[in-house]
Structure 1
Amino acid sequence: MLTFRPRMPSRPVLKATALAIAVGALCGVCAALAHLPIPYLLGALLGSAVLVGFAPGLFPDDYKFPQPFRFAFVGVIGAMIGAQVDPEFVHRIPQLGMTLTGVAVFVITAHALSYMLFRRMGGYDRATAFFCGSPGGLLESITLGEAAGADVRVLTLHHFLRIILVVAVLPLGMSLVYGRALGSSAGEGFAHGAAELSSLPILLVLCAGGSVLGLLLRLPAAPLSGPMLLAGIGSGAGLIELNPPNWVTQVAQVVIGVSLGVRFIGVTRDLLWRVLKLSVVGVAMMLAIGAAIAEALHLLTGEPWDVLLISLTPGGVIEMGLIALSLSVNPAFVTVHHLFRIVLTVLEITTVGKYVIGRDAAQR
């Protein structure tokens, strides 16, 4: 039987979290006024990162963002993504074989080239290079990498930077391509109709029920995929329609952005600079691979190139789902592909990793 025993964060942790969220919200508003894409996510991320970088004393030792609070808003994002599913999308599911194959090609190619980059340019050992280069599976990569003898500090920072750089660069890049701000800063939304406060109770039920469902089914990224699955079934069957106010997504952007930004606490400037240089090259390479595969799939399937690009970028599944929601680019389609990327990456690092690390051990 499953039991849930949430641990209440200490008072200093709650105070530091409240401060970070307040700063993040203020920076999100400033980013929206500056017409940046995904303003509340990017503004909160940058604002909280600057806060922990210049005023680390405001945070307790070994501070970590309270995960139950983050998961609550992750569930909101999942339910809102699932609510975008309609009968047309359900009928298209059997036709996703070509694009999911493209995800498989991306995972294999991006991981292989990233491994070579970190080995040759970074001088990392095999274990560190292999698990740093995986295009997904953050927790699994860190756990397996630590067991294999990888440098955990470098490994953790690489994966955080991978997600943060993609989240920061992709919306900005797409705004430059289209020549206008995208997302909530441009006034775009993703509800099917007029915003209604009556959607909030339905949203809460989907979040709570979906989270339990995700845990029971042992789904990947359960706090996101559980509510998404439950809302997708209801929406695809025409039983529910979610039209929450835009501030719901804006608050979710702030919370997710702050939870990313505060991860820089305790990172030395020397380590950050060394890993950042490699991460920029690695992420640029992964984005180029994703763009090339997206173009090929666009020609083969007719799917919009921007939707395919977002589906093939190595960001976090939660963050990419939120970006897809904010940019109104078929979030259900995007999230299905990112969940597949995570599952495929975890399978790949668990099966291929032992051979790569085994070769390293044999040469010691």
Structure 2
Amino acid sequence: MRGPSSALLRAAWGAVLTLGAGAVGGAVFSVLGLPAAWISGALVFTIALAVAGVPVAVPEWARFLAYTVLGTSMGTVLTPDMLARAGSWPVSMACLAASVVGTMAGGALFLTRVGGWSVETAFYASAPGAFSTVLAMAEETRADLRKVAFAQTLRLFLLVAALPNVLGATGLSGGGFHPPPHVSPVWDLAILFVVSALAGLAAAALKVPGGLILGALAGSATLHIGGWSDAVVPPALLLPAFVVLGAGVGARFLGTSLSALRSYFWVSLGAFLVALTVATMCALLAAWLTGDDLGKLLTAFSPGALEAMTALGFAMGYDPAFMSAHHLFRFAGLSVALPVAAHLLFRIERRVEDDHSP
């Protein structure tokens, strides 16, 4: 006879299988040197299981821990020194803001008019970066999370895979940068995580879109901006969080057919090309106005995930403060503006639907 214990065992086995496959996928992609390896590898391997009909699932406690770690890590980038440096690049920041608006508008227009995607799905799928935050926000709406995840992942994958090669072939890449290692004391990390977790829970309780990750980011950022902490999240904690994020998104593809994935690919590729064109035009404008290095601006304006694109800029030899400031500016702007824009846009959409309903 099947009872609660058998259901718990099935759920536990599904979680072990999903996270195990995600970890293997992340490790394989990392060994192969592929971009955003631990997220994309976990995503691809989990999608393969989901499309094959394997009952994949990620438990809520794992999502909570992963979102807390990711939000905490992103908040550590916000330091008084970085914010002071960010104020010295007003022209490039303005061009970046125009790039974010343009890429979202162009991508969303393409996805709705050409791909036939819903407004909510196109809105989140076209957001240029802030991958984990966008997914957390989209999860609480009527958006098709599978399409959002696929479009976001494909854009990040293509950017990180192609950008270094393109800039290297054109002689625009920098000379390499290796940041000094920083090992945080266990006590400092414990305080950082407690504050970030409490802030995440508070934001979630207030029904803030993506509250767990945004609240954790805010808690971490408050400590770092105030000078009360300089702790950073070690890779040993970040990598499992990336796996959980990738596997959790991949589990959403359960029941999706290969034909649907093929249709997602071509539409997402078209939206990516639109976004890349807009970002390149804005980077060219910024280079003309400031006389700054075009390769550095292209990397800073690339509409990819905060951590992946910032790390890529460091590895390519560009000023780490410049990279951090611009990608964080884009990320922070998206984190603040997305909930507001979503509320206004979707309220207007619902009013239009009500007006046309019989």
Which is worse superposed, 328-337 or 163-172? Answer: 328-337
CA distance in 1, matches of 2:270, 2:107: 9
Task: Tell me the equivalent position of 1:253.
Answer: 242
Alignment-mate amino acid for residue 68 of structure 2 = G
Q: Superposed, which structure 2 residues align to 1:20-169 within 5 Å? A: 20-54=18-52, 56-57=53-54, 59=55, 64-92=57-85, 101-102=94-95, 104-118=97-111, 120-122=113-115, 124=116, 128-134=117-123, 135-136=126-127, 146=142, 155-169=144-158
Task: Tell me the equivalent position of 2:195.
Answer: 206
Q: Is the 8 A contact 1:82 1:228 kept in 2?
A: yes
Once superposed, what is the RMSD of the aligned Cα atoms? 3.8
- In structure 2, relative to structure 1, the CA distance for the partners of 1:94 and 1:75 (3 Å cut) is same
- In structure 2, relative to structure 1, the CA distance for the partners of 1:21 and 1:359 (3 Å cut) is closer
Task: Tell me the equivalent position of 1:5.
Answer: none
Selected match of 2:221 from 223, 232, 243: 232
State the TM-score, normalized to the length of structure 1: 0.72
Which is worse superposed, 128-137 or 324-333? Answer: 324-333
CA distance in 1, matches of 2:219, 2:248: 25
CA distance in 2, matches of 1:132, 1:211: 25
Selected match of 2:301 from 304, 309, 318: 309
Deviations 1:248-306 (A, max 9, x none): 22222222221222222111222222232211111222132223323433554659425
The unaligned stretches of length 5 or more in structure 2 are 1-6, 128-133, 170-175, 315-319
Post-superposition shift, 1:15?
Answer: 1.9
Alignment-mate amino acid for residue 34 of structure 1 = L
Which is worse superposed, 92-101 or 268-277? Answer: 92-101
Whether 2:256 is the aligned partner of 1:267: answer yes
Alignment-mate amino acid for residue 272 of structure 1 = L
Post-superposition shift, 1:26?
Answer: 1.8
Post-superposition shift, 1:191?
Answer: 7.1
Q: Is the 8 A contact 2:21 2:45 kept in 1?
A: yes
**Percent identity of equivalent pairs:** 17
> Matched residue pairs, number?
326
Post-superposition shift, 1:43?
Answer: 1.8
- In structure 2, relative to structure 1, the CA distance for the partners of 1:98 and 1:344 (3 Å cut) is farther
Deviations 1:34-62 (A, max 9, x none): 222332222222222222223x23x1xxx
State the TM-score, normalized to the length of structure 2: 0.73
- In structure 2, relative to structure 1, the CA distance for the partners of 1:230 and 1:291 (3 Å cut) is same
Alignment-mate amino acid for residue 208 of structure 1 = A
- In structure 2, relative to structure 1, the CA distance for the partners of 1:121 and 1:349 (3 Å cut) is same
- In structure 2, relative to structure 1, the CA distance for the partners of 1:17 and 1:98 (3 Å cut) is farther
- In structure 2, relative to structure 1, the CA distance for the partners of 1:324 and 1:266 (3 Å cut) is same
The unaligned stretches of length 5 or more in structure 1 are 1-8, 147-151, 181-186
Post-superposition shift, 1:332?
Answer: 6.3
